[in-house]
């Protein structure tokens, strides 16, 4: 069982457009949890998904075992399948036979650095299917967007 569980979600109104992120970080043994959210006036959904995980990991004050639970296949596949190859290829990916810079490189580099400090497991949940904590993160993210909408 994980020492902590990190639920995350990101959202965008338009893509790009105003965006928000949210996370819930829970210590299952004690029941203690924190939740945070934030956003940006002009961003993308993928950037907000990445930011949610980054901010959740930044909230940890020591190395721990973390189960990251997300509905973002982009984030989970990036961490589990793509990241190693990107790093080996100088943070580039193959596109039509050529190496191209990866999108959101600054966020991926920060996420890579943060994940090195912890033992990470990844769990995918389908969004909007009744997972209470995923729904709470979605609400945190969508509410964060409101301060950027005019």
pTM of the predicted structure, to 2 decimals: 0.95
What's residue 130's pLDDT?
83
pLDDT of residue 18: 97
pLDDT digits (tens, 9 = 90+) for 51-110: 999 999 999 999 999 999 999 999 999 999 999 999 999 999 999 999 999 999 999 999
Q: Give the pLDDT score at 150.
A: 67
Q: Are 65 and 72 in contact (CB under 8 A)?
A: no
**pLDDT score of 9:** 97
According to the model, what pLDDT value does residue 129 have? 83
31-57 tens-digit pLDDT: 999 999 999 999 999 999 999 999 999
Q: Which residues are known catalytic residues? A: 9-10, 49, 71, 128, 138
pLDDT digits (tens, 9 = 90+) for 107-123: 999 999 999 999 999 99
Residue 13 has pLDDT above 60, yes or no: yes
Q: Which residues pair with 99 in a beta bridge?
A: 94
Are the C-beta atoms of residues 124 and 73 closer than 8 Å to each other? Answer: yes
Task: Give 44's contacts (C-beta < 8 A, 6+ positions apart).
Answer: 12, 15, 16, 19, 104
Task: Assess contact for 37 and 141: CB atoms under 8 A.
Answer: yes
Domains in the chain, please, with CATH? 4-71+107-148 (3.30.420.10)
In the predicted model, is pLDDT for residue 1 greater than 60?
no
């Amino acid at each position: 069982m994980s020492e902590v569980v990190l639920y995350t979600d990101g959202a965008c109104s338009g893509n790009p457009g105003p965006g928000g992120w949210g996370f819930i970080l829970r210590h299952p043994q004690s029941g203690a949890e924190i939740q945070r959210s934030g956003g940006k006036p002009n961003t993308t959904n993928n950037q907000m998904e990445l930011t949610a995980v980054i901010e959740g990991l930044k909230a940890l004050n020591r190395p721990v075992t973390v189960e990251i639970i997300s509905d973002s296949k982009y984030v989970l596949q990036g961490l589990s399948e793509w990241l190693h190859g990107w790093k080996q290829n100088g943070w580039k990916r193959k596109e039509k036979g050529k190496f191209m810079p990866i999108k959101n490189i600054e966020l991926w580099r920060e996420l890579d650095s943060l994940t090195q400090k912890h033992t990470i497991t990844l769990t995918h949940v389908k969004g909007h299917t009744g997972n209470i904590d995923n729904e709470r993160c979605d609400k945190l993210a969508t509410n964060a967007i409101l301060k950027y909408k005019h």
